[in-house]
Structure 1
């Protein structure tokens, strides 16, 4: 074989490799550089799957009062109950299996956190895009609302809203949306102010494209990297806020306890040695928040060009 043929044969793999290389593959490769991020992602996937399939995985339905036996109340971990199965993480004062309660509590915590973050992201991103694109009085009005919202501590604002609306999962979601949207609006506005001066926005104006199309088809996609990072962090923050509100008695109803309410149910028994009622839900909440934050930290490093090595 000639030297020219050998050179061509050697060049084929490199060309194929260049064709296979895509932005998504590059993103996955950079994300996988952090072992902690992969660990956090794996743990969160396990937690999410456990929450989704809780009705099939949990040995007991903690929301069904017919399955609860008050005689099984405050049993230690590993004790066999009257129903014949083992309470691996013990029971609370109502005879609720703590392992089942944690599985079902994760469903509420994750759904409330993800749902409120998604709604707040849509509202905040829309207002941030409008503020950056319109400018002038519109920008000033929206940003003054953002400053007003951010001037109040999130937990205090959520408590005031729930004191007015009352308990309930829907009311908790509304309260979290009202205290979270400003973070998305400020993030998107800062990015959109830079992007609106790009050539593709000027080209869209020259083509007389509708404002809605310019905002959501051209401007918003280029604001997604920082928005994804903020959304990831806000999901963890929303889960922590929901747990705090439920712990204080203003969150989800007592018939559908989340992790925060499970922690609150065992708080008064901590001094008497019944640590497991609050301890295990607290560990589950901590692991969930830490795993999300690990993923969010790596997303920030990968999606922010200034932080790339």
Structure 2
């Protein structure tokens, strides 16, 4: 049967109709992710949160931690009040006269930096140890997995509090404490995935070619273990932000000179019963929205990267 002239011309030119073109992995990933309007909306909100945190010095009407810009007479003003600085405190002020809107923008920077940084470091540590346990097995596997079991047997907040009680306050110390309690999740997940991949033909072929063990582990084994780790990394960022906020609320997190959302909530806790709700309420809303949108994005990534969960 002779094809129509238009199709024959396309075929002779080496072109294919748009509908028959092979779909690239990136395009397929974007299309699958965009199937959930809730996840897309959450991603847009998360991008806006990140942009607000990055450009806080240019967006915030006040540097809330520059003493020269503060007026103690503006302390505990309700939302919408015109202050002595010449602008309206749209979210009110705290007990030190700091603009709450500006404080939230600056607090987001610390919370996101600590959460993302600690989750990424824990990802590197846990992934490396999980790969080593799966590939080498034997005593190496036993030692690493016993450490994982020991870590997961204690509540994360308790371990983090013990570490910070020893190290003291500080952003770096908070990151160390969160990494110490989060790496085990990555190690256990990557070990389970790597044990399956370890028996694949491409690993046996790489060993027959006498490739070095580090190259086999990190060049061939690791890329095939990444999809579930990306989902865990997204979820752990939200978990790390919540853990840092809890530590700061308890007084063992970041210092008062570099406050996060958790510390902002703690600053207004004692004023809640006196009716000055805004000091804790608005930072709490910002923290809640940040954690929720990250979890929604991570939940959709789990469905996209795991074909078994696709509807």
Specify the TM-score bucket, using the shorter chain as the normaliser.
over 0.9
Q: Secondary structure at the match of 1:157?
A: helix
1:77-110 Cα offsets, whole Å, 9 max, x none, are 0101111011000000011100000000000000
Distance in 2, matches of 1:163 and 1:14, equals 65
Aligned length: 308
| Alpha-carbon offset, residue 65 of structure 1 | 1.7
Q: Which of 137, 140, 156 is residue 138 of structure 1 equivalent to?
A: 140
Distance in 1, matches of 2:276 and 2:204, equals 66
| Structure 1 partner of 2:173 | 171
Gaps of 5+ in 1: none
| Structure 2 partner of 1:201 | 203
Quick one: structure 1 residues 18 and 162, their matched pair in 2 at CA, closer, same or farther if it must change by over 3 Å?
A: farther
Q: 1:1-309 counterparts in 2 under 5 A?
A: 3-8=3-8, 14-19=16-21, 21-309=23-311
Q: Secondary structure at the match of 1:84?
A: coil
| Alpha-carbon offset, residue 67 of structure 1 | 1.3
Distance in 1, matches of 2:35 and 2:198, equals 33
| Alpha-carbon offset, residue 10 of structure 1 | 7.3
1:52-73 Cα offsets, whole Å, 9 max, x none, are 0001110111121221111110
| Alpha-carbon offset, residue 15 of structure 1 | 4.9
| Alpha-carbon offset, residue 21 of structure 1 | 1.2
Distance in 2, matches of 1:15 and 1:189, equals 44
1:158-208 Cα offsets, whole Å, 9 max, x none, are 111100100000000000000000000011101000011111111110111
Distance in 2, matches of 1:5 and 1:210, equals 56
Distance in 2, matches of 1:23 and 1:178, equals 35
Gaps of 5+ in 2: none
| Alpha-carbon offset, residue 305 of structure 1 | 1.7
1:86-144 Cα offsets, whole Å, 9 max, x none, are 10000000111000000000000000000000100000000000000000110011000
| Alpha-carbon offset, residue 19 of structure 1 | 3.8
Quick one: structure 1 residues 212 and 17, their matched pair in 2 at CA, closer, same or farther if it must change by over 3 Å?
A: farther
Q: Could you tell which deviates more after superposition, 58-67 or 35-44?
A: 58-67
Quick one: structure 1 residues 7 and 18, their matched pair in 2 at CA, closer, same or farther if it must change by over 3 Å?
A: closer
Q: CA RMSD in A?
A: 1.4
Give the TM-score, by structure 1 length: 0.97
Quick one: structure 1 residues 3 and 14, their matched pair in 2 at CA, closer, same or farther if it must change by over 3 Å?
A: closer
Q: Secondary structure at the match of 1:191?
A: helix
Quick one: structure 1 residues 224 and 3, their matched pair in 2 at CA, closer, same or farther if it must change by over 3 Å?
A: closer
